[in-house]
Structure 1
């Protein structure tokens, strides 16, 4: 199972990286931290971590390259490649739980995005965006109470969003003035 507080774990791993003897921690630490960054959707930190991992560590630890392949696909917003890489790789115990949770988290984010961005889509498109079979995609659509017509076109329900609270111009001016005076100090 994925630890409840990944932020705390990420902080601990970052400290261990800094305190590592010779400045180079074990590859397992890099792998775990990289996987956590991806789970948190912190692609910038993931990319910077990848760049600072020594080339010798990258080449000797194939799992790091596999984790980064997932990160690269996330960076390019290539969801089918993300799902394929996660499910086709045999992950070590060090990162297996995080990578399984990452798969679920990306699927959750994709479902949320689909409900906001699509007025309708085919079952094959939905299954590609969710990284699952067509039958599983239809099951997820049914769970979300999305409409499915006879030609298997799915009509997602837009999420309910509460109207943004209007702030007065005076309130906005006060906040801006406070911010500018803070910057001047």
Structure 2
């Protein structure tokens, strides 16, 4: 089976395309009757779905993986471990699952990119959900030690109360773009012209 499109996507760091490419290749192989299960990059496929936050698809893929693959490929199990943590909303467990396995050459860049995206997603969650939060909880959500988490969020404008070990979340200003409607501009121009004449 030709995995060139998948290899190219990973090399180009187009990780958002990995799941779709794998899905398409799997469907094509199944339609053509090509046996592919033993050589299929299940870990990459699972991680592709996880990267785009499609845990449902990752879950269904996991259920379709043959038991001998699950038993024989630790990286597939490690990838699904991340999916399980996401499924159960074990936010700190996701970080532990990412760091708890020595990823292979093909999966390492995908896992690193996911970890970065996931940390950003967790930071946005903290921004929207909290006005104050403990340093310990912040560190768990962001997958960092307490010192690094504190430095990171203080760098984002949060305020640290050293006595209580609490952080005050600085909400980011929401930028609203106003779109210029050419029809409204034309009517306004005609109205001003009418008033002046």
Both proteins in one fold, TM over 0.5? yes
Distance 1:2 1:68 in 2: 23
Match 1:155 to one of 147, 168, 186 = 168
What is the Cα deviation at residue 162 of structure 1?
5.0
Instruction: Look at both structures and tell me which one has the larger radius of gyration over its CA atoms.
Output: 2
TM-score normalised to structure 2 length:
0.76
Distance 1:36 1:8 in 2: 8
Asked whether 1:53 is paired with 2:53, we answer: no
Match 1:77 to one of 89, 102, 105 = 89
Contact 1:43–1:75 (CA under 8 A) maintained in structure 2:
yes
Match 1:26 to one of 32, 39, 45 = 39
Equivalent residue for 1:11?
20
Contact 2:17–2:48 (CA under 8 A) maintained in structure 1:
no
What is the Cα deviation at residue 143 of structure 1?
2.0
- Give RMSD over aligned pairs: 2.1
Gaps of 5+ in 2: 1-9, 179-197
Distance 2:39 2:176 in 1: 49
**Residues 149-158 or 65-74, more deviating:** 149-158
Distance 1:83 1:3 in 2: 24
**Residues 156-165 or 86-95, more deviating:** 156-165
Give the aligned length.
164
4+ residue runs over 4 A deviation: 162-165
Contact 1:16–1:25 (CA under 8 A) maintained in structure 2:
no
Match 1:146 to one of 151, 154, 158 = 158
TM-score normalised to structure 1 length:
0.80
- 1:98-113 alignment runs, 5 A limit: 98-113=110-125
Equivalent residue for 1:36?
48
